[in-house]
Chains A and B, each alone.
Chain A
Amino acid sequence: MQPGKIVVENLYKVFGDHPQEAIDLLKQGMSKDEILAEKGAVIGVSNVSFSVEEGEIFVLMGLSGSGKSTLIRLINRLIEPSAGDVFIDGQNVAKLPKDQLIELRRRDMSMVFQSFALMPSRSVLDNAAFGLEVAGMNRREREERAMAVLRQVGLDTFADKFPHELSGGMQQRVGLARALAVDPSMIIMDEAFSALDPLKRREMQDILLELQKTHRRTIIFVSHDIEEAMRIGNRIGIMEGGRLVQVGTPQELIDNPANSYVRNFFETVDTSRYLTAGQLMADSVPLYVDTGEAPDAQQVCQDLQNQDKRYAFVVDEDNNFRGSISLEQLALMVDGGQTCSLDQEVLNQVDPAPEDLPLSEVIERLVDNDGPLPVVDGDGRYSGAISKGGVLSRLQGDGA
């Protein structure tokens, strides 16, 4: 097994007096509500296991109260886990002695908060340098590094200002700078952009993605905004009632939601934007295998007319896409008395689309081409065709 950067195993958090009892009851299959009623214990996080790869942005999603904020605080142990393990680079944070935990927090992890959580009596520069100051770096050096990260987030000219003099978006950029200043390999972001208006939120997402391009960090990002999750997340984990219901790429979650709770998340999303050629293709174009022997043009023409098709695709014996031919071309050949050769010279060269081509580009190609668009798999083998009508009816189906 490839160990991830962060590995969470069978993690529990119970708020109440006898956590172990509550966990045992959970294991026996008792529900969260029953345990609350019987033992007065609140289940915050229940048997969660997942792993986050180095350099990945992992988004945790869920309704409020689903335990996502608790879960991330178990990872940097702002909240003590009731049971289970959290490995960061193979080191079990849940069992770490206090001084080593402090050392780890200073060196390797930082956090960005929903309410920004800047210190009001510190200047922007001193806020950005906070983590370095705590770690004991001298003033000159830490101010230099804080200034460098402020420049990265475009706030170097505001270094002497105080947080209350900045807008919300700028304040969160300071929050981000503070997290980046310690140069951590992982950042925990708790609804970091949720308090911002949609435009500012997008701007912050762009800044984050831009920063990831130059220096890939492992990021756990809590969000309740599905658009945000799909935009920045490499993978998304969906939480419900303290449990992690499903983990997957946005595409996997849209295609195979584990339950209606997960499906509901994507209901408001215009999922068509995430459709790809592979999902749009159908078996809608007659296929001819070029065996080297010329088929009868008359026959092919007749076939197409019978099926009410205007195009045929040709593949070689290995199923590699060769080209397309239209009914008009065939008709001309028949009129000219030619036998139908499906040679390269006759075929129209169409650039086949890979299966993962997004909808927007599929549409672009369909507009440019007259006929249907062939789709090939990763090895260049023909796997289906996309027609204009097919796309339209699919979009209508999704919209309805």
Chain B
Amino acid sequence: MSEKILDLGSWVNDAVEHLLENYGGVFDTLGSGVSAFSEAVENVLMLPPAWLLIAIFVALGLWRIGIRFAIFTAVAMVLIVLTGFWEQTVVTLGLTFSATLISLLLGIPLGIWAARNERVAIVIRPMLDFMQTMPAFVYLIPAAMLFGLGRVPGIFATVIFAMPPAVRLTSLGIRQVNKEIVEAGQSFGCNSRQLLFKVQLPNAMPSIMAGVNQTIMMALSMVIIASMVGAGGLGNDVLASIQRLDIGLGFESGMAVVLLAIILDRITESFGTTRTNTRKARFYGWVSSRLRLQRS
């Protein structure tokens, strides 16, 4: 290791300590709020029996994508139940949902702001770069120091890691709305709120949904890593398999993560690409073809 001339790290240490000493109360309140929220989400997901939750996901898959994906969803989730990872999977799902919801709640308005204000965009951009590329584990240390061990630091670290795509793709989507469509909105007398809700957001929807999809995927991957600070869920098993060098356990728990990821990805992706009308048309087409078959 070469000689250290500038000790940036100790400054950061000091800063975190300063935060802890002077704003500990703020972080406690924030932490208990997030804790209550994520617990509520988890409890809701735990409420229905496994078969009902599986049925809901299968139904979503059937509605959004098709019969083949619905079958895949059913098989994948039954596999998770059979390997005994169901409970952990639901915990992971809950953490992912909580972190995603918080990320979107912060990220989408921030993206809108950045799209409408060049200065905000300039300030936000390097921050997003930092949040996305700083190795994910690094967030866990200050998060654990500020919030203690458990679910809350995990969710905080996850929000930091997963929020950037929501901000970026919201901002990008709004900026990329066809210039003449925006002009049409203005020329028919939209005020700036109408322009946002009637013109920019609806037309930016595919991009925003891509951002939501990316946020969910990144949140899922980070939630696993967050088990290091005791966030719980499938990450615990992954971590245990590493500590015990248990390849079998690693494969099983990893498999559950992958299957969950695929299901979440395809379902959220479908909200961004297909339009309601074409889906409806396909559905009506399918129904009418069935009816014709029965008659003949």
Please judge, given known A-B contacts A119-B199, A119-B202, whether A111 and B189 are in contact too, CB under 8 Å. no
CA distance A372 to B188 in the complex (A): 57
Choose among A106, A117, A130 the residue that contacts B178 (Cβ–Cβ < 8 A). Answer: A117
Residues in chain A near residue B205, CB distance under 8 A: 121
Interface hits, A40-91 → B, CB 8 Å: 73, 76, 78
Residue from B190, B199, B202, B277 in contact with A162 in the complex, judged by beta carbons closer than 8 Å? B277
Contacts of A78 in B (CB 8 A): 183, 186-187
**Do the beta carbons of A113 and B203 come within 8 Å of each other?**
no
Partner of B187, one of A103, A107, A109, A162: A109
Question: Inside 8 A of A76's CB, which chain B residues have their CB?
Answer: 187
Contact at B202–A114, with CB atoms within 8 Å? Answer: no
Docked CA distance A338–B67 (Å): 107
Cβ of B181 within 8 Å of any chain A Cβ, yes or no, is yes
A106 touches B184 (CB 8 A): no
C-alpha gap A107/B188 in the complex (Å): 9
Whether the pair B275, A121 counts as a contact (CB closer than 8 A) is: yes
Question: Among the listed stretches A8-16, A131-139, A215-223, which one makes contact with chain B, having 4 or more residues with CB under 8 Å of it?
Answer: A131-139
Interface pair B189/A103, CB less than 8 Å apart: yes
List residues of chain A with CB within 8 A of the CB of B203.
Answer: 119-121
B28 to A: closest C-beta gap in Å? 44
Residues of B176-231 whose CB lies within 8 A of A: 178, 180-181, 183-191, 194, 198-199, 202-203, 205
- Please report the C-alpha to C-alpha distance between residue A120 and residue B274 in the assembled complex, in whole angstroms: 12
A130→B188 contact, CB < 8 A: yes
Q: Chain A residues with Cβ under 8 A from B180's Cβ?
A: 113-117
Per the 8 Å Cβ criterion, residues 98-153 of B in contact with A are: none
Chain B interface: which size bin? 20 to 34
Whether, in the assembled complex, A146 has its beta carbon less than 8 Å from a beta carbon of chain B, the answer is no
B187 and A111 form a contact (CB under 8 A): yes
What chain A residues lie within 8 Å of B191 (beta carbons)?
102
Chain B residues with CB below 8 A from A110, complex form: 187-188
**Nearest A residue (CB) for B180:** A117
B183 close to A111 (CB less than 8 A): yes
Cβ of A150 under 8 Å from chain B: no
Interface presence of A182 (CB below 8 A): yes
Question: Among A107, A117, A133, A182, which residue has its beta carbon within 8 angstroms of that of B184?
Answer: A117
Q: Which residues of A contact B189 (CB under 8 A)?
A: 102-107, 131, 134-135
What B residues does A117 contact at CB under 8 A?
A: 178, 180-181, 183-184
Interface residues in A161-181 by Cβ distance below 8 A to B read 162, 178
Contact pattern, B 24-39, Cβ under 8 Å of A = 1, otherwise 0: 0000000000000000
- Total chain A interface residues with beta-carbon distance under 8 A: 31
A106 touches B188 (CB 8 A): yes
Cα–Cα distance between A250 and B180 once the two chains are bound (Å): 30
- Least CB distance, A238 to chain B, in whole angstroms: 24
A102 neighbours in B (Cβ, 8 Å):
189-191
Residues of chain B within 8 A (CB-CB) of A134 are 185, 188-190, 194, 198
Residue contact A121 to B184, C-beta cutoff 8 Å: no
- Distance, CA A128 to CA B183, complexed state (A): 16
Residues on A with beta carbons closer than 8 Å to the beta carbon of B202 = 119, 121-122
Q: Are A113 and B188 in contact (CB under 8 A)?
A: no
What mask results when residues 369 to 388 of chain A are scored 1 for a CB within 8 Å of chain B, else 0? 00000000000000000000
Q: How far is the CB of A191 from chain B (nearest CB, A)?
A: 10
Closest residue of A by beta carbon distance from B184: A117
The complex places the Cα of A116 from the Cα of B184 at a distance, in Å, of: 9
B196, chain A: closest CB distance, angstroms = 12
Q: Which of B178, B184, B191, B277 has the most CB of A within 10 A?
A: B184
Question: Bound state CA distance, A131 and B190, in angstroms?
Answer: 8
Measured between beta carbons, the chain A residues less than 8 angstroms from B178 are 115, 117
- Least distance between B188 CB and chain A CB atoms (Å): 4
Give the complex CA separation of A76 and B191 in angstroms.
14
Residues 120-159 of A at the B interface (beta carbon under 8 Å): 120-122, 130-131, 133-135
Q: Once the chains bind, are A119 and B181 in contact (CB under 8 Å)?
A: yes
Interface set, chain A 351-396, CB cutoff 8 A to B: none
Complex CA gap A104/B190 in Å reads 11
Chain A residues contacting B186 (CB-CB under 8 Å) are 78, 105
Closest chain A CB from B276 CB (angstroms): 8
Nearest-Cβ distance from residue A126 to partner chain B, whole angstroms? 10
Contacts of B194 in A (CB 8 A): 134
Name the residue of chain B whose CB is nearest to the CB of A121: B202
Q: Which residue of chain A has its CB nearest to the CB of B186?
A: A78
State how many angstroms separate the Cβ of B203 from the closest Cβ of chain A.
Answer: 7
- List which B228-280 residues lie within 8 A (CB) of chain A: 275, 277
Give CA–CA (A188, B187) in the complex, Å. 10
Name the B residues within 8 Å of A106 (CB-CB).
188-189
Least Cβ distance of A74 to chain B in Å?
13
In the complex, besides A115-B178, A115-B180, A131-B188, 9 extra interface pairs with C-beta distance below 8 angstroms are: A103-B189, A110-B187, A111-B188, A113-B184, A117-B180, A117-B181, A119-B181, A130-B184, A182-B188
Taking Cβ atoms with an 8 Å cutoff, the residues of A that contact B are 73, 76, 78, 102-107, 109-111, 113-122, 130-131, 133-135, 162, 178, 182, 188
A-B contact pairs, 29 of them (CB 8 A): A76-B187, A78-B183, A102-B190, A104-B189, A105-B186, A105-B187, A105-B188, A107-B189, A111-B188, A113-B180, A113-B184, A117-B178, A117-B181, A117-B184, A118-B181, A118-B184, A119-B181, A119-B184, A119-B202, A120-B275, A121-B202, A121-B205, A130-B188, A134-B185, A134-B188, A134-B189, A134-B194, A135-B189, A188-B187
